[in-house]
């Protein structure tokens, strides 16, 4: 497991066990292999970070735990979409950084339920498509779905578990559900869940979805023909996801905006506080929560 000593530069110092090289220069995302070896899950710590899996340097996949998953009552798993990989995991910032999203979800859960034990797993556990052209294929989602499903069985069975997939990450989540152990699945700005019928999602998981009115993903065509197409969107009547409110966020990448109703609803679902989830279109007063800044950043 690499120990990243400088997370702000493109050249990352890595203390590399198992014969890995000691320095990795991160420049471009790795190419998507025709078939990836299954992730080997297991707890590892390096430079204050807790990892569950990581490809060798130069690889794509990395899985980090924020908080203590071993003792958590509620665990949220962040599944990002296009363009994320080990090389930009610690440098991605702002609206599109999965690690930042995980930190925001964790802090919001802690703010809403300060007495609950919560954790977040940031799962960049598949070779994400580098752009929209590749994202028309469901092949990367199929490659990652088995590893995501295995993660849900690796995590403590006593914990309430929520998968949170954004964009293409929701496709991975949908394809994983039939074999996964998940209480809830949240699809944010989903182009499709990878399936055509609700029965393909398995049973026992509550399906939630959010889509901002101005999100261009609503124009993405629903299709699936072999490895082409991402299936039906979660809000299609056949899949019948429960749509929740996103407040005043706009666009495709702002579902995790701090203090937004979108983020609060994601955290409420991850905490199992379903009665507090606001429906789409509900009038909501924006509330700035000072506690979000008091909670120690992961």
| pLDDT band with cut points at 50, 70 and 90 for residue 1 | very low
Find the range with the poorest average confidence among 4-18, 51-65, 120-134, 225-239: 4-18
CB 178 within 8 A of CB 153: no
For the chain, the maximum distance between any two Cα atoms, rounded to a whole number of angstroms, is 57
CATH of 44-294, one of 3.40.50.970, 3.40.50.1820, 3.40.50.10260, 3.20.19.10: 3.40.50.1820
Domains in the chain: boundaries: 44-294
Query: Hey, is 298 helix, strand or coil?
Result: coil
Find the range with the poorest average confidence among 21-30, 40-49, 241-250: 21-30
Q: Can you give the pLDDT at residue 61?
A: 97
- Helices 168-177, 139-154: axis angle to 10 degrees equals 60
CA pair distance 12, 294, nearest whole angstrom: 30
> pLDDT tens digit string along 231-276?
999 999 999 999 999 999 999 999 999 999 999 999 999 999 999 9
Q: Can you give the pLDDT at residue 16?
A: 29
């Amino acid at each position: 497991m690499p120990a990243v000593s400088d997370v702000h530069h493109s050249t990352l110092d890595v203390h590399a066990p198992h014969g890995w090289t000691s320095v990795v220069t991160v420049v471009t995302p790795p190419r998507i292999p025709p078939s990836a070896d299954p992730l080997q899950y297991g707890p590892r710590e390096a430079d204050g970070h807790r990892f569950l899996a990581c490809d060798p340097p130069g690889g794509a996949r990395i899985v980090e735990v924020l908080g203590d998953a071993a003792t958590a009552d509620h665990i949220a798993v962040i599944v990002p979409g296009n363009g994320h990989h080990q090389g930009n995991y610690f440098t991605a910032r702002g609206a599109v950084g999965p690690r930042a999203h995980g930190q925001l979800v964790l802090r919001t859960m802690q703010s809403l339920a300060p007495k609950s034990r919560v954790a977040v797993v940031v799962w960049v556990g598949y070779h994400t498509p580098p752009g929209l052209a590749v994202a028309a294929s469901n092949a990367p989602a199929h490659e990652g779905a088995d590893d995501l499903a295995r993660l849900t069985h690796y995590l403590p069975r006593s914990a309430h578990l929520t998968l949170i997939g954004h964009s293409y990450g929701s496709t991975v989540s949908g394809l994983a559900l039939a074999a996964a152990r998940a209480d809830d699945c949240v699809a944010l700005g989903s182009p499709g869940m990878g399936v055509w019928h609700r029965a393909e999602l398995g049973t026992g998981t509550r399906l939630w979805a959010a889509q901002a009115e101005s999100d261009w993903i609503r124009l993405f065509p629903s299709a699936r023909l072999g490895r082409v197409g991402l299936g039906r969107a979660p809000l299609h009547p056949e899949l019948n996801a429960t749509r929740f409110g996103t407040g005043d966020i706009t666009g495709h990448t702002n579902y995790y905006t701090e203090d937004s109703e979108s983020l609060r609803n994601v955290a409420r679902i991850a905490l199992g506080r379903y009665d507090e989830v606001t429906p789409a279109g509900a009038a909501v007063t924006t509330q700035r929560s000072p506690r979000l800044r008091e909670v120690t950043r992961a």
